Amino acid sequence: MRQTSIITNPKKSSKIYDSVNATLLIKGGFINQEAAGIYTFLHYGKRVLDKIINIVREEMDKIGVEILMSALSPFDNWIKTERINNVDVLFKADAGNEPTRKRSDSAYILQPTHEEMVTPIVKEFVSSYKHLPVAFYQIQPKFRNEPRAKSGLLRGREFLMKDLYSFHKDANQFKQYYAKAREAYIKTFERFGFKYNQDFFVVYASGGTFSDDFSEEFQLRLDVGEDLVFRVPSTNVCYNREVAPSKAVDPEIESEQYEMKEVFGEGIIGVDELVNFLNIDIRKTIKTLIYIVNEEYPIAVAVRGDYEINEDEKLRKVLKATTIRLATEEEVKMHTGCTIGYAGILNLNPNIRLICDESIANLTNFETGANKENYHLINVNWGRDVEKPSEFYDVKVAKDGDLHPSTDERYEVFRASEIGNIFDLGTKFSESFDLTYVDEKGEKHYVHMGCYGIGVSRLMGVIVEKYHDDNGIKWPKSLAPYDIHIITIGDSDDVMDYSKQVYVDLRENGYDVLWDDRLDLSAGEKFADSDLIGIPIRIIISKKTLESGSIEIKNRQINDIYFIERANLIKQVREIYDNLL
């Protein structure tokens, strides 16, 4: 493509956005922002998107059949699954309020995800075990009314997703398929140029609303990533922070047990304040919190002062509770006899069940609230001052420095950004839509479903976050809008002619080439532009090239510059290209 035949440089190129990907992609003319979280993909952006989509499609075609669903669904589908009330990002589409609301006979949900569509579609076709397993996928826009659309393409209100939905006789058939889908995902991400267990990882995460099992996330290591991954070095098993099993490193066990003391500390409530006030190691403090379980009864949960309670993924599961919540000020007073902040494990009302995190099991001379207004206890010791409780669990949020409980290795902890996920949907949706099949014996069962997502447009943003420098983007070769960028400096006939010849030669050799043939820009402007756009190989052709017979080539991925003989151009370009990321 000749650069004069497309428009590439937006006027507002000096504006800085809330993320690197937004700034570089908008400035570079890849995308245009229409509203918060809503973008148009321009020439370069569309080409990158197509490259992502083509790789995803080729790999998904091996495990499923592509379909194209509508964005609009009747309300009824969302009423059946009861998600009309639970999913808070739903867009409703209708004739609108005045001045546009003229008819009310047609109101729809704009799909934020397509379980509510695909399940009734499959019901039109599936009735027997012979039809299963079957899997459909789609690559198309989704709509989520995110309260805080942000970070460019990372969290949008309208975005492109690949979602695959699979349908099975039972959990066992699902698991077999799941293993295949997992492999297909790894292959897909490898084709983007990411290395498995080095650039990207399969990470256990919460199973969400539908399953007590973990789901799996595909996470790309990224310093500005929104997730924290805990990796077990010896096994490459990874956990998202929300589900990482955690073993705390104990502080030194003191051989001498000091005298237990009550300390008056009126208004000393928070852990940091307490540590300051008592001048003790935070790891020798115990935080005791009162929770209400299933809105029925209170419990006390004790954890080391430097940890937080993992309410949803750990505490709730330990309790097998439907709901848990922190007790109100009044409830705390009722159950402990004092205001929030003085609850502790000593003198606790014996009718209140005490759940202890393992982080406090081996403490000596530790602090705890006294269950007495304004008082803390210090130098408390198990056995001597209080009987060691019977229930120790891992109910804390993991943090950097923690050990993996099974291997006792210290986790490697790093930030990462989600690029894909896999969910076990169980029979949640087949029950809502009565999607059943008849087995070999003529018995009816609900279909077991799985769901597998890749945020296609999000991925484009994540890749820019990972591969860029101060001057612009550095695309992996599989996703670059073009393979090679020819920059012509000067407008003399011989320079233009030779540029054109190189342009044609490279295209004939199978490369996608962008040729900067613009005459009204300086060399400096063209180089800056080229760095910004980030095409992996740059070839500079000028008067000097013709005189010296040597062509300047830049590998944008590593910013190395080579000078090569004109006669060897194609051969050398191929060599550089083949060694690119």
- One character per residue 16-45, x = contact with a copy of itself (rule: CB under 8 A): -------------x--x-xxx-xxxxxx-x
Among residues 40 and 568, whose Cβ is nearest to a copy of itself?
A: 40
Give me the least distance between CB of 437 and a copy of itself, in Å please.
12
Q: How far is the CB of 84 from a copy of itself (least distance, A)?
A: 6
Nearest by Cα to 347 from 325, 380, 324, 319: 380
8 Å CB contact between 52 and 191:
no
Joined together, the tokens standing for residue 372 give 């007495």
Compare residues 106 and 294 and give the one whose CB is closer to a copy of itself.
Answer: 106
Q: Is 3 one of the binding residues for a copy of itself (CB under 8 A)?
A: no
The residue length of the chain stands at 581
Q: How large is the angle between the packed helices 493-508 and 569-578, nearest 10 degrees? A: 50
| Binding test (CB under 8 A) with a copy of itself, winner from 16, 54, 58, 101 | 101
15 is a site residue for a copy of itself (CB under 8 A): no
Map residues 291-310 to x or -, x wherever contact with a copy of itself holds by CB under 8 A.
--------------------
* Beta-carbon count within 10 A of 345 CB: 24
Q: Check binding of 392 to a copy of itself (CB under 8 A).
A: no
Q: Is 124 in the site for a copy of itself (CB under 8 A)?
A: yes
Determine contact, residues 484/514, Cβ cutoff 8 Å: yes
Q: Is residue 445 within 8 Å of residue 169, measured between CB atoms?
A: yes
SS3 category, 415: strand
Is 193 in contact with 477 (CB distance < 8 Å)? Answer: yes
Our finding on whether 65 is near a copy of itself (CB under 8 A) is yes
Q: Does 10 bind a copy of itself (CB under 8 A)?
A: yes
Q: How far is the CB of 477 from a copy of itself (least distance, A)?
A: 22
Contact assessment for residue 417 and residue 154, using Cβ atoms and an 8 Å cutoff: yes
* CB atoms near residue 312 (< 10 Å): 12
Residue 232, sorted as left (phi over 0), alpha (psi -120 to 50) or beta, turns out to be beta
| Cα gap 579→557, rounded to integer Å | 11
Decide if residue 100 touches a copy of itself (CB under 8 A): yes
Residue 194 beta carbon to a copy of itself: minimum distance, rounded to whole angstroms: 24
**Beta carbons of 539 and 487 less than 8 angstroms apart:** yes
> Should residue 148 be labelled a site residue for a copy of itself when binding is judged by CB under 8 A?
no
Q: Binding segment for a copy of itself among 128-136, 257-265, 299-307, 356-364 (CB under 8 A)? A: 128-136
Q: What is the DSSP track for 353-369?
A: EEEEEGGGTT-SSEEEE
Candidates 94, 250, 281, 505; binder of a copy of itself (CB under 8 A) is 94
Q: Tell the smallest beta-carbon distance from residue 103 to a copy of itself (Å).
A: 6
Residue 69 contacts a copy of itself per CB under 8 A: yes
Residue 71 CB, shortest distance to a copy of itself, in Å, is 6
| 444 is an interface residue for a copy of itself by CB under 8 A | no
Q: Which is nearer to a copy of itself, 134 or 361 (CB)?
A: 134
Q: Is 102 in the site for a copy of itself (CB under 8 A)?
A: yes
Q: Tell which one of 25, 48, 52, 122 touches a copy of itself (CB under 8 A).
A: 122
CA–CA distance, 107 with 122 (Å, rounded to integer): 23
Structure tokens at 559: 């910013």
Piece of the chain touching a copy of itself by CB under 8 A; list 87-95, 253-261, 343-351, 476-484: 87-95
Contacts of 142 (CB under 8 A, 6+ apart): 71, 111, 112, 113, 114, 158, 159, 160, 161, 163
Report d(CA 264, CA 272) in Å as an integer: 17
Other beta carbons within 10 Å of 74: 15
Q: Does 442 bind a copy of itself (CB under 8 A)?
A: no
Kindly state whether residue 282 participates in binding a copy of itself, applying the rule CB under 8 A.
no
Q: Which of 25, 49, 299, 486 binds a copy of itself (CB under 8 A)?
A: 49
Distant-in-sequence, close-in-space partners of 180: CB < 8 Å, separation ≥ 6: 63
Among 145, 206, 339, 374, the residue binding a copy of itself under the rule CB under 8 A is: 145
Chain mean position to CA 519: 43
Taking the C-alpha atoms of residue 449 and residue 113, their distance in angstroms, rounded to an integer, is: 14
Window 508-537: contact mask with a copy of itself (x via CB under 8 A): ------------x-----------------
Return the closest-CA partner of residue 137 out of 460, 452, 457.
Answer: 452
Exposure of 97 by Cβ count < 10 A (0-12 exposed, 13-18 middle, 19+ buried)? exposed
d(CA 519, CA 512): 22
* CB nearer to a copy of itself: pick between 130 and 543: 130
From the list 129-137, 230-238, 435-443, 480-488, the region that binds a copy of itself by CB under 8 A is 129-137
Piece in contact with a copy of itself (CB under 8 A), picked from 140-148, 249-257, 272-280, 294-302? 140-148
Least spacing, CB of residue 32 vs a copy of itself, in Å: 5
Q: Which residues bind a copy of itself (CB under 8 A)?
A: 5-12, 29, 32, 34-36, 38-43, 45-46, 49, 65-74, 84-85, 88, 90-97, 99-103, 106-110, 117, 121-122, 124-127, 130-131, 134, 141, 143, 145, 147, 157-158, 520
